[in-house]
């Protein structure tokens, strides 16, 4: 007769290998039931993965599988708490994250990835102000002052996250910022139709309520000297971003009407209304280019064209944002490059462009654009927005003795410390322009690195996984996955939304969110699991003294039901041998 054995390497196991880690969400029967149901529906035949690909793909390792499952179970506050345990910007990320987790989602191997970002937003928006207040008070009550002070330079997502995490570890933290207001590119680079200001302001307020201090209007090297900060504090985290625009170096670039795209967005996001002409050309293929084009429409432009030197397939901009821009009337011209700005009386009148063809991949991994001789043509434009890339401000690091890499960016070790003792750096300053979630992850790594540097063995570690950890792990592909279409969050009408800065993408309702969350295959192991005990009720199943699932052989009749519903594939049928 078959008996059931417990595989302790899979039972109640979490992907998070941080020593002593415990999930912030307690055992929940509805969550366990959801995971057991997904296992039963998907069928036997393939073991779950130790590390869910969605978690590995997230730079900050937010427990995607966990919060999606909690949404499916109707446990919205618990989902929010799980996200908030890893990052201080759950709602903001639900609106602006490009979703690297979705690109690795196993559900996409069958039909379409789970709409993870929409579910993150849903969890944040369904969590009441009272519930958020309870969590904030818990965080404040858990702070134990350690008497050490850290300075953070830059109030963008990297600096804010670092300050938040250090404060929770008991440090006195002051953030120094060149602008009068905190937020960095969250504030200055992302328009309100994507990130409504009340959302950002609420999450910023929570960080500062923890006791983080803010000093605005102080420019590094002008009002603030790094040497003074290093002398006056225990450590410094430099997260000044990549604020200097990459120039095209073509004739006419200094003409009136030619703007740097992020400077244009900054002016608008801080309350300005720069004048744009009837025809606007945006040069570039990233998110700043797409946002610049959409903002130009909202400022009254009649025709807006994005000029990109490669094809749509190579564009780094988020595809959904580009689709929204095109629905609003933005035109995309592929495989064209600017040759010169045509200027009359000091003002832009047109742009000379050349068509390109794509050659072999360059250092970025994308095919290199090659100008086609004799293909030049003229595009009329009274306004041009240049979004050709960003880099750290020249001279920012001069004289500091910081070792730089081949790209001229600060070189940091695995704990984010530079070659200068006590000086840490991260975010766009060390990588070049990146995503919000990557900057948040950098801030989180830096906080852990600073804590380790200052407190050694007393520091609480933070575990980070990556897609590299999945190189030798087989993707979970259960045999029975019913095809279900992905939820598409509704949007404000395209013709109306270009008239103002109203929020474009509307959220999922409860029915849509739960249906979408149930598309998750729960592909990874989870430690928050007593599913066999709580959902099955078999007298042979119990918890041992160590809190692990145990099978009483004398009571097991070998029915084989519990292995079919075990979400972790930790219950295994084993044939009794002759000597058993």
**If you average pLDDT over every residue of the chain, what do you get?**
92
Assign 391 to helix, strand or coil.
Answer: strand
pLDDT digits over 275-316, tens only? 999 999 999 999 999 999 999 999 999 999 999 999 998 999
User: Which is it for the CA torsion 25, 98, 468, 432, positive or negative?
Assistant: negative
Instruction: Give the list of residues 6+ apart from residue 479 with CB closer than 8 angstroms, or none.
Output: 42, 43, 44, 45, 46
Query: What value does the mean pLDDT take over residues 50-77?
Result: 97
pLDDT digits over 92-136, tens only? 999 999 999 999 999 999 999 999 999 999 999 999 999 999 999
Assign 459 to helix, strand or coil.
Answer: coil
Of 186, 79, 58, 180, nearest to 123 (Cα)?
Answer: 79
Q: For residue 177, what pLDDT band results from cuts at 50, 70 and 90?
A: very high
What are the residue boundaries of the structural domains of the chain, listed by start?
1-23+528-580, 36-134+466-527, 147-243+392-458, 246-390
| DSSP annotation string for 205-266 | HHHHHTT-EEE-S--BTTTB-HHHHHHHSSEEEE-----EEPP---TTTTSBTEEEHHHHHH
pLDDT at 519: 96
d(CA 530, CA 514): 22
pLDDT at 394: 64
pLDDT digits over 426-484, tens only? 999 888 888 999 999 999 999 999 999 999 989 999 999 999 999 999 999 998 898 99
Specify the DSSP element, H or E, that contains 2.
strand 2-6
pLDDT at 556: 87
DSSP state of 62: -
DSSP state of 417: B
| DSSP annotation string for 334-381 | -SEEEEEEEEETTEEEEEEEEEEEEEEE-TTSSEEEEE-TT--EEEE-
Residue 241 or 139, more confident: 139
Give yes or no on whether 36-134+466-527 and 246-390 have one common fold. no
Q: Specify the range with the lowest mean pLDDT, choosing from 38-52, 62-76, 102-116.
A: 38-52
Instruction: Give the list of residues 6+ apart from residue 391 with CB closer than 8 angstroms, or none.
Output: 242, 244, 246, 408, 432
Q: Specify the range with the lowest mean pLDDT, choosing from 65-74, 179-188, 412-421, 526-535.
A: 526-535
Highest CATH level, class, for 1-23+528-580: alpha beta
Q: For residue 2, what pLDDT band results from cuts at 50, 70 and 90?
A: low
Specify whether the CB–CB gap between 266 and 186 falls below 8 A: no
Q: Between β-strands 258-260 and 244-245, what pairing exists: parallel, antiparallel or unpaired?
A: unpaired
Share of the chain above pLDDT 90, in %: 75
pTM: 0.94
Specify whether the CB–CB gap between 292 and 266 falls below 8 A: no
Specify whether the CB–CB gap between 81 and 73 falls below 8 A: no
CATH topology of domain 246-390: FAD/NAD(P)-binding domain (3.50.50)
Q: Is the pLDDT of residue 579 over 80?
A: no
pLDDT at 547: 84
Query: What value does the mean pLDDT take over residues 484-499?
Result: 91
Highest CATH level, class, for 36-134+466-527: mainly alpha
pLDDT at 524: 94
Cβ atoms within 10 Å, residue 428 = 27
Q: Is the pLDDT of residue 580 over 50?
A: no
pLDDT at 363: 75
d(CA 437, CA 415): 18
What separation in angstroms does the CA of 283 have from each of 235, 357, 546? 40, 17, 61
Specify whether the CB–CB gap between 200 and 90 falls below 8 A: no
CA angle 467, 470, 475 (to 5 degrees): 115
| DSSP annotation string for 489-536 | --B--HHHHTTS----BPPP-HHHHHHHHTT----B--SS--HHHHHH
| Per-residue exposure over 182-209, b if at least 16 CB sit within 10 Å of its own CB, e if not | bbbbbbbbbbbbbbbeebbeebbebbbe
Q: Is the pLDDT of residue 138 over 90?
A: yes
pLDDT at 447: 98
Query: What value does the mean pLDDT take over residues 263-267?
Result: 95
Residue 226 or 134, more confident: 134
| Residue whose structure tokens are 């595989």 | 7
d(CA 303, CA 279): 5
pLDDT digits over 344-362, tens only? 999 999 999 999 999 888 8
Q: Specify the range with the lowest mean pLDDT, choosing from 61-65, 201-205, 397-401.
A: 397-401
Cβ atoms within 10 Å, residue 8 = 13
pLDDT at 365: 77
Q: Is the pLDDT of residue 333 over 70?
A: yes
Specify whether the CB–CB gap between 171 and 146 falls below 8 A: yes
Start-to-end Cα distance in the chain: 11
Q: Is the pLDDT of residue 575 over 70?
A: no
Q: Is the pLDDT of residue 421 over 60?
A: yes
Residue 399 or 288, more confident: 288
Q: For residue 495, what pLDDT band results from cuts at 50, 70 and 90?
A: confident
Q: Is the pLDDT of residue 401 over 90?
A: no
pLDDT at 576: 58
Report residue 403 CA to chain centroid gap: 28
Q: Which CATH architecture has domain 147-243+392-458?
A: 3-Layer(bba) Sandwich (3.50)
| DSSP annotation string for 112-171 | ----HHHHHHHHHHHS-HHHHHHHHHHHHHT----S-EEEEE--SHHHHHHHHHHHHTT-
pLDDT at 546: 84
Q: Is the pLDDT of residue 578 over 50?
A: no
pLDDT at 393: 74
């Amino acid at each position: 007769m078959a008996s059931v054995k417990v595989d302790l390497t899979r039972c109640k196991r979490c992907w998070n290998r941080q020593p002593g880690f415990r999930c912030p969400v307690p055992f929940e029967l509805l969550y366990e039931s959801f995971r057991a149901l997904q296992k039963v529906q998907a069928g036997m035949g393939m073991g779950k993965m130790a590390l869910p690909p969605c978690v590995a793909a997230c730079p900050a390792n937010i427990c995607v599988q966990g919060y999606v499952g909690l949404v499916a179970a109707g446990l919205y506050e618990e989902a929010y708490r799980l996200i908030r345990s890893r990052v201080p910007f759950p709602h903001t990320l639900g609106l602006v994250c490009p979703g690297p987790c979705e690109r690795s989602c196993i559900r996409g191997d069958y039909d379409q990835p789970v709409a993870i970002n929409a579910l993150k937003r849903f969890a944040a928006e369904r969590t009441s102000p009272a519930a958020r207040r309870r969590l904030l008070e818990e965080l404040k009550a858990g702070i134990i002052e350690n008497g050490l002070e850290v300075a953070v330079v830059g109030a963008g997502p990297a600096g804010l996250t670092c300050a938040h995490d250090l404060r929770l570890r008991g440090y006195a933290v002051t953030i120094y910022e060149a602008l009068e207001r905190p937020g960095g590119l969250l504030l200055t680079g992302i328009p309100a139709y994507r990130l409504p200001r009340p959302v950002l302001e609420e999450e910023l307020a929570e960080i500062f309520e923890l006791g983080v201090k803010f000093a605005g209007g102080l420019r590094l090297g002008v009002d603030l000297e790094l040497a003074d900060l290093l002398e006056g504090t225990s450590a410094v985290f430099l997260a000044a971003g990549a604020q200097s625009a990459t120039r095209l170096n073509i004739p006419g670039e200094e003409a009136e009407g030619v703007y740097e795209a992020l400077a244009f967005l900054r002016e608008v996001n801080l309350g300005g209304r720069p004048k744009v002409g009837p025809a606007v050309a945006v040069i570039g293929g990233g998110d700043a280019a797409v946002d610049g084009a959409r903002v130009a429409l909202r400022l009254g432009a009649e025709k807006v064209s994005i000029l990109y030197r490669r094809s749509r397939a190579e564009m780094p901009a988020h595809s959904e944002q580009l689709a929204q821009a095109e629905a609003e009337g933005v035109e995309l011209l592929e495989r064209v490059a600017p040759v010169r700005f045509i200027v009359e009386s000091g003002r832009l009148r047109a742009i000379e462009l050349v068509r390109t063809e794509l050659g072999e991949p360059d250092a970025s991994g994308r095919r290199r654009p090659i100008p086609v001789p004799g293909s030049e043509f003229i595009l009329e434009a009274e306004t041009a927005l240049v979004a050709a890339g960003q880099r750290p401000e020249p001279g920012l690091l001069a004289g500091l003795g910081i070792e730089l890499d081949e790209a001229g960016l600060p070189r940091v070790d695995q704990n984010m410390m530079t070659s200068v003792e006590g000086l840490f750096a991260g975010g766009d300053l060390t990588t070049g322009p990146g995503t919000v979630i990557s900057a948040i992850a950098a801030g989180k790594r830096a906080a852990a690195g600073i804590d380790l540097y200052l407190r050694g063995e007393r520091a609480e570690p933070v575990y980070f996984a990556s897609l590299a950890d999945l190189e030798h792990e087989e993707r979970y592909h259960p045999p029975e996955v019913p095809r279900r279409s992905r939820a598409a969050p509704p949007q404000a009408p395209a013709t109306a939304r270009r008239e103002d800065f109203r929020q474009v993408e509307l959220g999922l309702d409860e029915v849509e969110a739960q249906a979408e969350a149930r598309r998750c295959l729960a592909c990874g192991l989870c430690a928050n699991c007593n599913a066999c005990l709580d959902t099955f009720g078999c007298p042979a199943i119990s918890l041992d003294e160590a809190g692990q699932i145990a099978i009483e052989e004398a009571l097991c009749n070998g029915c084989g039901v519990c292995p079919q519903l075990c979400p972790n594939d930790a219950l295994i049928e084993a044939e009794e041998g002759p000597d058993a």
